[in-house]
Structure 1
Amino acid sequence: MMEEECCFSSSDSFKEAEVGTPLSAVAEAFEELAKSLEGSSEDLRLHPFIFACSHVSELFGCLGLGFKFAEIEYVSKVNKLLQASKAFYTLSGIIDHDVRNGTVRKSGSHSRNLRRVRLGLDLIKALFEHFLSSKECSPKEAASNAYAQVCAPYHTWPVRKAVAAGMCTLPTREQLLLKLKDIDQSVEREMKRYIIASGPIIEYIDNLYMSRDICLDW
């Protein structure tokens, strides 16, 4: 696939979500993104993907200092993909560009940035799944399990050690609900919406790499 020029002008900006809480905003954005994949043979467009991903950074912020490492990493990569959207129209376009240039795994490449954003989406998904697994599950427990499941395999021992120490600063369940401007009943509903909607997006990104014989162990 040849490199594609983005159809969005520099004056384009993300549409503000007409929803009341951070959770409902991210759930709605990913539901819209998932709908665009249903029954379509077209590649996922980069700009709508970035729009949906932009909402997730606020969720990282609600987790406080314990997840500051993830917030900084995630926001940085999303911003770099936003810059890439000036030259590329689809997710497959940026991967194919790096495949042709042998830069898929190179630090700072678009494909590597996309891979890191994908890990961020999966981290939030896993955190929500653990959080909803039991009324007794604290944000610290949910976050620790999610990190061990999604990110730890790709981090060095010093990074894993630092993250473990930071987990002690995560908010309580009540504090998290306050940060999310939500209550238990609606939190469960919105988290489930994100889990369901983000699954196909994460799978789609993985398939983009695997269809080009790119291993996902990085």
Structure 2
Amino acid sequence: MEIDKFTQSCHLVSPLIRHLGVAMKFADIEYSAKVSGVVRAGKSVNTLEDLLDRDIQKNTIKHFSSSSRMLIKIIFVCNYNFICSCATMSTHIENTLMDPVNTAYKQTAAGALQNLPTKSLFFKRLKVDEASAFIWMQMIVTALAPLMHYVDNLFHSWKSAQELLYLL
């Protein structure tokens, strides 16, 4: 997969993280930095396979700042947002993001989420109505599902990359 196409899909996620408020501020900063890191790495290689190959050849795959680690962390956030978007689209009755975000958070991490906005405030911050947000989240789900599957298979296809997954 070309790095440009990958990072374009990743950029769909940024506004969702950013508009969840203070609770996700640091996640947004870290996510954006990781995506920027992969964009920078894309200046010397064209595909995710090449990116992973380069880290394996240089024996940097397990280094803290390696492109491979950045890729794993990006996929973690994409997975979180995929789950959150699916859960948000399935809760039409409530005006809270707590349940969808909790569901996603429990499936990808753990912790307290006290400062989340309501669903309507979240949509207001995004400057969209619920119907538009639903369409946007459907685009995210559609874009991220094959992307996450692809990267997961990519990492599981190399022994060194599998070892990295166990470190995280």
TM-score normalised by L of structure 1: 0.70
Aligned-pair CA distance for 1:103: 2.1
2:5 to 25, 30, 48: 48
Q: Does 1:192 align with 2:149?
A: no
Contact 1:105 1:112 in 2 (8 A): yes
Counterparts of 1:108 and 1:79, CA distance in 2:
12
Aligned-pair CA distance for 1:89: 0.8
Aligned pairs (5 A) from 1:69-218 = 69-135=26-92, 136=94, 138-150=96-108, 152=109, 160-161=110-111, 164=112, 167-213=113-159, 214-215=161-162, 216-217=165-166, 218=168
Percent identical across equivalent pairs?
29
Gapped regions of structure 2 (runs ≥ 5): none
Contact 1:131 1:137 in 2 (8 A): no
TM-score normalised by L of structure 2: 0.89
> Please, what is the CA RMSD of the aligned residues?
1.6
Counterparts of 1:183 and 1:54, CA distance in 2:
20
2:20 to 45, 63, 66: 63
Counterparts of 2:52 and 2:87, CA distance in 1:
31
Counterparts of 1:83 and 1:126, CA distance in 2:
28
Contact 2:6 2:147 in 1 (8 A): no
Q: 3-state DSSP class of the match of 1:89?
A: coil
Contact 1:74 1:120 in 2 (8 A): yes
Counterparts of 2:121 and 2:9, CA distance in 1:
25
Greater Rg over alpha carbons, structure? 1
**How many residues align structurally?**
163
Runs of 4+ in 1 over 3 A off after TM superposition: none
Aligned-pair CA distance for 1:137: 6.3
Gapped regions of structure 1 (runs ≥ 5): 1-43, 153-159
Query: Could you list the per-position Cα deviations for residues 11-32 of structure 1 after superposition, in whole angstroms to 9, with x for gaps in the alignment?
Result: xxxxxxxxxxxxxxxxxxxxxx
Could you say which structure has the higher helix fraction? 2
